[in-house]
Amino acid sequence: MLVDGKPFRTIWPNTDGSVGIIDQTRLPHEFETLTLRDMPAAAKAIKTMIVRGAPLIGATAAYGMALAMAEDPSDAGLAAAYDSLYATRPTAVNLRWALDDLRARLSALPPAERAAAAWKRAAEIADEDVAICEAIGDHGLKLIEEAAARKPGETVQILTHCNAGWLATVDWGTATAPIYKAHDAGIPVHVWVDETRPRNQGASLTCWELGRHGVPHTLVVDNAGGHLMQRGQVDLCIVGTDRTVANGDVCNKIGTYLKALAAAAHNVPFYVALPSPTIDWRLTDGFAIPIEERAESEVTEMWGKTPEGALTRVRITPETTPGANPAFDVTPAALVTALITERGVCAASTEGLAGLFPDHAKAA
């Protein structure tokens, strides 16, 4: 997507053997790029959420393997890189998917050939992610067109949670891809953006990228979604996912489940944009997904920008109040209207997913 008129992806290889990324912890206040020069830097960027979002975590892990192979392509180096990168974040399955893919390809090669193969495969994974997200956009566009046809001349109101935008992927985004496609096609859309406490990816990242692309949007507190749906102010919800299992249960940023419950109560279609590397074919029950527990300081403190322009943290609770910080929740498949994948739209069910991905379903 464009940033100040210049096309950007969220991750890119540099000619000197390093990797460029956008520092997402500085947005929306500052747009800064960073350079990853070795595997530990890639692991740290994932762990500290300088990069985040399931598909981008996978792409960063792939480039992390390439950085590792440039330094130590031995079997021991390969195993150590896999373990370090795998330990960064537990929920988004794209991490394991990318690491398994790289390890399987690289371990079949002599060490001298591993670095070149890893760089090539990391670039392919990034390119594939862009193509997958664009295809999700094309399939999801049809759902927005249908919603627009139900209210001619009026704006289609879409609610999204967290950031499943281009910043969470390599480009396009998953939940945002249909929105960008609809906006670009001249369909009037407006997006309700959940702030997404505690890290505020909606407020900081989704608002930033929608604004840069000119998509009309409004920030709401996480608790507003039910009210908006009850008043008929939401035509459809589209969210992303960090891991969807073979029966269609969806794990996504904490708070997604509450939106799905409200959507079901008010007959608002609830769609999940799902790239296939985010499907965990090994699991058949969403409650088996590991839920990341993050630092309580993310709950008890907030980041903000002072009038003087400094980024600073402030405490919002009494000093002694503890905070709990489960970062994801599971929305049962029954609450999901449909999954929007790169192969088309399907029911959130074993049959629905197996129908679109018979090859993967059989191999699992």
Binding site for ligand MRU (CB under 6 A): 52-55, 92, 162, 164, 168-169, 173-174, 201, 240-242, 252-253, 327
Distance in Å, CB of 53 to ligand MRU, minimum: 4
* Nearer to ligand MRU among residue 69 and residue 209 (C-beta): 209
Contact present, 210 and 58 (Cβ < 8 Å): no
Distance in Å, CB of 226 to ligand MRU, minimum: 19
**How does DSSP classify residue 162?**
S
* Active site amino acids: 242
- Spatial distance between the Cα atoms of 216 and 180, rounded to a whole number of angstroms: 11
Q: What is the dihedral of CA 29, 30, 36, 42, to 10 degrees?
A: 0
* Nearer to ligand MRU among residue 183 and residue 253 (C-beta): 253
* Nearer to ligand MRU among residue 84 and residue 169 (C-beta): 169
- Spatial distance between the Cα atoms of 352 and 271, rounded to a whole number of angstroms: 14
Distance in Å, CB of 73 to ligand MRU, minimum: 29
Report angle CA 68, 71, 74 to the nearest 5 degrees. Answer: 80
Q: Which residue is nearest to ligand MRU (CB)?
A: 240
Distance in Å, CB of 58 to ligand MRU, minimum: 10
* Nearer to ligand MRU among residue 72 and residue 298 (C-beta): 298
